[in-house]
Structure 1
Amino acid sequence: MELRSVAVLGGGPGGLYVARLLKLRHPHCVVDLYEQSPPGQTFGFGVGLATRTQRNLGAADPASLAEIVERSFRHEMAMEVRGQRAQVPMDNLIAIGRSTLLDVLRRHAEDAGVRLHYGRRAARDALDAELVIAADGVSSATRESAADAFGASVTTHDSLYLWCGTDFALPSAVFLPVETEHGTFVAHAYPYAPDRSTFLIETDEETWRRAGFDQTTAQTPFDQTDEESLAYLGTAFRAELQGHPLIGNRTRWLRFRTIRCERWHHGNVVLLGDAAHTAHYSIGSGTKLAMEDGIALADAVAAAPDLPTALARYETDRRPAVEHLQETARRSMRWWDTFPGRLDLPVDQLLLAYMTRAGKVSVDRFAALAEDVVRRGLSQYAGCDAADVPTEDRDAWILSRPLVRDDRAWPARTVSVEELGRHHEVAVDVDDPWGPEGDALLKQLVTALDDATHSVLLSAEDDLGSTLTMLDLGERLRRESGAVVAARVSERWSEHAAAALASGRVDLVVLTAS
């Protein structure tokens, strides 16, 4: 179809990008973008773009991607725990300052012929446009004004985080926990310019309250920075900061909000990016999702005969990928919520657990990026020399390792039900292993355990999501009860079983035919 007029609400990366794509494909269409803030005023620090995202942006618009890459900062990745550091030699991770990214996208939108209106708030009802794209963010006024029509829901999570930065480039991206008198704070930090790094810090509510940050949050106006928190955290992370201060930009403690909508379009209005959906920052950025939404919307409009068909096709084609990422992000978020409980693991094994936490990366796939890290992590799992870890058939090797626990021994991590010995068996039918249902099931199992039956066999529905949830519950049970935890796992999910064993989520597996 040929569009005549488009109005885009929101001048973030998603709005600017989709405006350019539509103008390039429909040169005679009038494309107006409205942003209430003046140009150059932005909040936030760096934006990371993974390899797959770069490929997607390059296929959609090579010119803008080329400048984004040119103005980005390349970095590697590391994890440091209790003085031990594991480095992953990656050369495909890039980050760019949010303000720099907006400058690039703004210029490319103008070059394409998009009309930009800054310092002006626009409501959808006041716009006379064939298509209205609401790219107005997580607090979208467009979505909230018609929440029932979009079937919108918002889930606010318990843990807290704040975005800040610092005035030097870290040597690499780093995941770094710091244990303080109040509890553990965890930094997700990465460089995005020669003189700038993002420093995202998160913690649990109990630690946050013990540190008095509930009070500093209440005392900090919404448009100001919680300087007291930054001063404390700057001291807590002083070794990694190398004497540099933490920098705020409307920085205050927040709780992540997961946005879901049953429908992404209503009439001629379509939601894009955070306005339609959010996914936890530990698995991917909202910028990535919004710009890839823009690609899908532009493709759907170009291929459809009319607007209703285009908007339906956009949602049908794009929703499965978004919902898959949201589910993966939910698992990743809960892993980070419980991260301090894993600090007893050696750093290489912990990094292996991190990479395989959400079921997207297998042991072998991670080994292709960081073979030395995987080799050391598997040697820590198996209690052997790193030189004895194979470079092929790693999953089979993980499954074949012996286990000795107290006065019991198994020749391999794969066992039959009979070899497991006396045990309790329970079907795992919960959505969140760390939520109330998980609490109840754990309490039930711990109560049932005794010296004679200090083993548990978990089972679940034979699909990947249920299997991953079972393995996550196994980790919680194993850590909180000290029980020997086995899991029934279909052979088709054996790579996930191997990752769970190597990460300390379960002790043993009973493999069943696919």
Structure 2
Amino acid sequence: MKLDTIAVLGGGPGGLYAARLLKRSHPEAEVTVYEQGVPDKTFGFGVGLASRTQRNLRLADEESLDGIVAAAHGHEMSMRVGDNEVRLAHGELLAIGRATLLSVLQKYAEDAGVELRFGERRSASGIDADLVVAADGISSATRTDLAEEFGPEITEGEGLYLWCGTDFALPRAIFTPVATEHGTFVAHAYPYAPDRSTFLIETDEKTWRRAGFDVSTRETPNGESDQLSLSYLQEAFSETLQGNRLIGNRTKWLRFRTIRCRSWHTRNTVLLGDAAHTAHYSIGSGTKLAMEDAIALDRAVLASGDLGEALAKYEAERRPAVEHLQAIAERSMAWWDSFPDRLAMPVEQLMIAYMTRAGKVTVDRFAESAPQVARPGLAAFAGVAIDEVPSPASVAEWILDQPLACGAHRFPRRIAPETLRNAGGTVPVEISARPWTPETADLIAVLPHATAYWLTGPDDREATLDRLDAGERIRRATGALVVADVPAGLRTVAAGAVASERVDLVAFTG
């Protein structure tokens, strides 16, 4: 397929990367990036690049990935609750300043022959090009202008968060809560340069209001930072900040917006990155998704005979991966929204709950990759010495073989006996809605009193994960014994849920 002109709307990482790849694939085409901002002014602080993302970028364009890595900052990961901290050694976690990343990608785009035009705001309808790539971000004007064709659906999370930074490098990435007189705030922070770190801080709405941040948010003009919140949080996280200040960059409290679109393309225009979809920051970044979109788009255009076929192929290939990631992200977002409810756990066990929170990592896989954290966490769960925890290959069965005492109940292992299902005091509960929806909240609110709740529902993976998450909500709300039906093929998922205290017992089906 011959393309003479390609226009990219938006000079963020996804747009610049797509422009470079498309220009390399179509050297005779005129490729232009239109960015309404100017090169040296950008929003944001650091951008994280996980190891899998790095591998994907290297396969697509090794030269530009080398440039990114050279300017990036490596780090490990940790979680601290009070005075207790655990660390995860991970040599492949990288972060890079957003401005630095843009500078690197601008250079490689221009080296490939892309024309960069800053200070120009263009619309898809106002550009005469064979292909228009709309990489114009979460507030995409293209998606809004062509809403009937793209069919966007936007939902907001319950919690609130703000992005800020500090002018020193943390020794490693850290997840840490602080309790204030108004409630709990949780920081996700990581270094991205020798003298810079990103701080993402989140809280629940009640805490946000008690602290007066509903007022400060309303009174902070657009384009400015909420200094009241920054001063408050700087004091709250003074230990983690080691006496350094928090820095804003148009920093205000927000609710995370999850964006889905019925279609990602219409005629010669295609959405890319946040314009098409978003996934909660706790499982990665919009930058990762946008750059991987660019790879898929370039691949589809190269493999197709005409543009309609190419855009349909791009969406067909990319959508399943994005939707899977969005499902994982929703679980992760809900886990973080309820994070303060788990602070009584030993931090090593809490790290197990964190790693297995979305069904992406199984408990045995985590035990293999981080035994120095997993073994103490599992020992805390079972109430045994660390040396009694077996090898990673046997961990799942070992978890399920642990005894449980709950009220008057005594069980030799974590697999529920069938006699419990029909016993007096056991109430069956069918879970048919997502666990963090108002429907599930209403269901929990009217549950009859019981000594045990037995959760049932469809046997597919997503429904099972929903059931386990709902189990944690019911368990914490009622204090009763919670059992969940789990397909036999998801045995390691069940073990992770038990070790993370999402449910007390499981019953295998199928």
| TM-score where L is the length of structure 2 | 0.98
For residue 428 of structure 2, what is the aligned residue in structure 1? 425
For residue 408 of structure 2, what is the aligned residue in structure 1? 407
Q: Which amino acid aligns with 2:458?
A: E
Post-superposition CA distance 1:334-369 (Å, at most 9, x none): 111111111111100011000000000001111232
Is contact 1:399–1:414 with CA below 8 Å preserved after alignment?
yes
Q: Which amino acid aligns with 1:175?
A: F
For residue 486 of structure 1, what is the aligned residue in structure 2? 483
**Does the alignment pair 1:385 with 2:385?**
yes
For residue 15 of structure 1, what is the aligned residue in structure 2? 15
Q: 2:440 aligns with which of 419, 438, 441?
A: 438
- CA shift at 1:426, angstroms? 1.6
**Does the alignment pair 1:465 with 2:451?**
no
Is contact 1:89–1:369 with CA below 8 Å preserved after alignment?
no
SS at match of 1:394: helix
Post-superposition CA distance 1:203-246 (Å, at most 9, x none): 11110000000111111111001111000000000000000000
Post-superposition CA distance 1:68-100 (Å, at most 9, x none): 111111100001112211111111111000001
Q: Distance in 2 between matches of 1:69 and 1:369?
A: 24
- CA shift at 1:405, angstroms? 1.6
Post-superposition CA distance 1:428-471 (Å, at most 9, x none): 1112x1321111211232xx22xxx4011111101010001100
Alignment of 1:105-124 (within 5 A): 105-124=105-124
For residue 170 of structure 2, what is the aligned residue in structure 1? 170
Q: Which amino acid aligns with 2:236?
A: A
- CA shift at 1:158, angstroms? 2.3
Is contact 1:90–1:369 with CA below 8 Å preserved after alignment?
no
Post-superposition CA distance 1:451-505 (Å, at most 9, x none): xx40111111010100011001111111110001111111101111100000000
- CA shift at 1:419, angstroms? 4.7
Is contact 1:382–1:401 with CA below 8 Å preserved after alignment?
yes
Q: Distance in 2 between matches of 1:153 and 1:428?
A: 24
Q: 1:497 aligns with which of 494, 498, 502?
A: 494
Q: Distance in 2 between matches of 1:190 and 1:409?
A: 44
Q: Distance in 1 between matches of 2:367 and 2:453?
A: 31
Q: Which runs of 4+ in 1 moved over 6 A?
A: none
For residue 399 of structure 2, what is the aligned residue in structure 1? 398
- CA shift at 1:157, angstroms? 2.1
Q: Distance in 1 between matches of 2:100 and 2:115?
A: 20
Q: Distance in 2 between matches of 1:235 and 1:440?
A: 38
Q: Distance in 1 between matches of 2:251 and 2:99?
A: 16
Q: Distance in 1 between matches of 2:89 and 2:242?
A: 22
Which range moved further: 81-90 or 205-214? 81-90
**Does the alignment pair 1:55 with 2:58?**
no
Is contact 1:36–1:120 with CA below 8 Å preserved after alignment?
yes
| TM-score where L is the length of structure 1 | 0.97
Q: Distance in 2 between matches of 1:2 and 1:376?
A: 59
Q: Distance in 2 between matches of 1:160 and 1:224?
A: 18
Q: Pairwise CA RMSD of aligned residues? A: 0.9
Aligned residue pair count: 507
Q: Which amino acid aligns with 2:465?
A: L
Is contact 1:171–1:191 with CA below 8 Å preserved after alignment?
yes
Post-superposition CA distance 1:77-124 (Å, at most 9, x none): 001112211111111111000001001000000000000100111111
Identity %: 58
SS at match of 2:502: coil
For residue 181 of structure 1, what is the aligned residue in structure 2? 181
Q: Which amino acid aligns with 2:50?
A: A
- CA shift at 1:415, angstroms? 2.2
For residue 506 of structure 2, what is the aligned residue in structure 1? 509
Q: Distance in 1 between matches of 2:128 and 2:407?
A: 74
Alignment of 1:273-352 (within 5 A): 273-352=273-352
Q: Distance in 1 between matches of 2:365 and 2:29?
A: 45
Post-superposition CA distance 1:144-190 (Å, at most 9, x none): 01111111121122211000001111111111011110001000000
Q: Distance in 2 between matches of 1:198 and 1:368?
A: 29
Q: Distance in 2 between matches of 1:231 and 1:417?
A: 56
For residue 74 of structure 2, what is the aligned residue in structure 1? 74
Alignment of 1:158-237 (within 5 A): 158-237=158-237
Q: Distance in 1 between matches of 2:412 and 2:442?
A: 33
SS at match of 2:76: strand
Alignment of 1:27-38 (within 5 A): 27-38=27-38
Q: Distance in 1 between matches of 2:301 and 2:508?
A: 47
Q: Which runs of 5+ in 2 are unaligned?
A: none
Q: Distance in 1 between matches of 2:124 and 2:507?
A: 56
Is contact 1:95–1:192 with CA below 8 Å preserved after alignment?
yes
Q: Distance in 2 between matches of 1:34 and 1:412?
A: 62
Q: Which amino acid aligns with 2:280?
A: H
Q: Distance in 2 between matches of 1:327 and 1:106?
A: 32
SS at match of 1:90: coil
Q: Distance in 1 between matches of 2:143 and 2:375?
A: 48
- CA shift at 1:406, angstroms? 2.6
Q: Distance in 2 between matches of 1:49 and 1:430?
A: 33
SS at match of 1:158: coil
